[in-house]
Structures are given as C-alpha cells and as structure tokens.
C-alpha cells in the first residue's frame, strides 16, 4: 500500500471542502473529471458517458450518495435506469480509485487523490451528512503494525469518524473548543 502524506500535491478543492460554505463544487467536479480522464488514459480504460455522469453526481456535493440516489438522477438525465448500470459504473470508479465506499452509509464519495493507492479515512457529519476524506498514513502504519504483532492479517480497512462539522457546530452555537 502506497501512502501519500504530502498535502502539497492536493489542489484547493481538497482543503476541507465538505465543511466550507464558500466552497465551489464545480471546481471539485472539474478537477475530479480531469484526474479521471488522465487516469483512464494512462490505464487504457474508458470513462464512458455513464461513468462520467456518475462521477459528476458523486462530486456535486460532499455528501455521500447511495446507488439508488444515483440511479434516480441518471434516469432523470435520460440514462439507462437499470441498477446494473449504476453498479457497473460504481465498480469501475472504485476499481480505479476514483471514489470510496463509506460502509456505514452504504454510499459513495469522491476520492481526493486517485493517483495514489491509499486507505480512505472519513470525517462524517451526523447533522448535515457531509463527509471529508482525510489522509492518515501514520494511523494505517500503526494499525498494520499492531495487527501484525497480534498475528492478524488485515484484509480491509475502514475508518469512519462521526461527529459534527464546523458549520453545524457553528449553527448549534458551539465552537470546536467546546468539545
């Protein structure tokens, strides 16, 4: 597993966009599509119109989307509305590291850094539903080291932290220092 802790490689849409009310989602959509097209070119894969639209839908907000939410939007956009269409697109995007599955929500969110193989760690706001991917290479190393010491082989790794984002804390009259 390649870990990337260098945040300088990330663009401006990667700096806590989920928890920023002045954030322009179109920048994230454009960046995600550019990264996806470049990645597909290097891997000789095709970013079909359905795959592209699914990726756009995932990045239109920073709230994880379930397959059936995506399916209904695809149908409204005139695409084939059969569940296998969505699941094939999601499988492709997951396989290419362009998005992550948030297990606790059975939903999907865009990957900030698809060019580097890494584990997704997520901050999930229990109030507004926004989610933010964070890099945590040290945590992954710590978990793997301790699992190995116990003779345990990790087959999958999911870390999802639930709480309140800065915007929801502010709306509720709390600050981060109150917690």
pLDDT digits (tens, 9 = 90+) for 121-139: 899 999 999 999 988 878 8
pLDDT-based confidence at 17, cuts 50/70/90? Answer: low
| Residue recorded with tokens 């070119």 | 41
In the three-class reduction of DSSP (H, G, I as helix; E, B as strand; rest coil), residue 15 is classed as coil
> What integer pLDDT is reported at residue 99 of this predicted model?
94
Give tens-digit pLDDT for 79-123. 887 899 999 999 999 999 999 999 999 999 999 888 877 778 899
Listed residue (59, 21, 32) closest to 115, CA to CA: 32
pLDDT-based confidence at 12, cuts 50/70/90? Answer: very low
> What integer pLDDT is reported at residue 16 of this predicted model?
60
Domains located in the chain, CATH noted:
8-178 (1.10.10.10)
Question: Average of pLDDT values for 3-7?
Answer: 37
Give tens-digit pLDDT for 153-163. 988 888 899 99
β-strands 121-125, 159-163 pairing: parallel
Question: Average of pLDDT values for 66-80?
Answer: 93
| Verdict on whether the full-model pTM lies above 0.85 | no
Listed residue (118, 120, 114, 112) closest to 28, CA to CA: 112
CA distance 31 to 43: 18
Q: Which helix (H) or strand (E) holds 69?
A: helix 67-76
132 contacts 19 by C-beta, under 8 angstroms: yes
pLDDT-based confidence at 23, cuts 50/70/90? Answer: low
Return the structure tokens found at 179: 């917690």
Listed residue (123, 61, 133, 128) closest to 70, CA to CA: 61
């Amino acid at each position: 597993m390649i870990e990337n802790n260098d945040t300088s490689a990330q663009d401006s849409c990667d700096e806590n966009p989920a928890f920023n009310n002045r954030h322009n989602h179109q920048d994230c959509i454009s960046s995600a599509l550019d990264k996806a097209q470049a990645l597909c070119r290097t891997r000789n894969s095709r970013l079909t119109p359905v795959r592209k639209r699914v990726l756009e839908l995932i990045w239109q907000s920073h709230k994880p989307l379930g397959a059936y939410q995506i399916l209904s939007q695809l149908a409204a956009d005139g695409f084939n509305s059969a569940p296998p269409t969505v699941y094939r697109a999601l499988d492709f995007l997951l396989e290419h590291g362009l998005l992550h599955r948030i297990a606790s929500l059975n939903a999907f969110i865009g990957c900030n850094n698809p060019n580097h193989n890494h584990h997704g760690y997520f901050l999930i706001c229990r109030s507004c539903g926004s989610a933010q991917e964070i890099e945590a290479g040290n945590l992954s190393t710590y978990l793997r080291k301790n699992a190995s010491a116990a003779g345990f082989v990790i087959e999958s790794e999911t870390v999802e932290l639930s709480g309140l984002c800065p915007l929801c804390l502010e709306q509720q009259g709390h600050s981060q220092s109150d917690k």
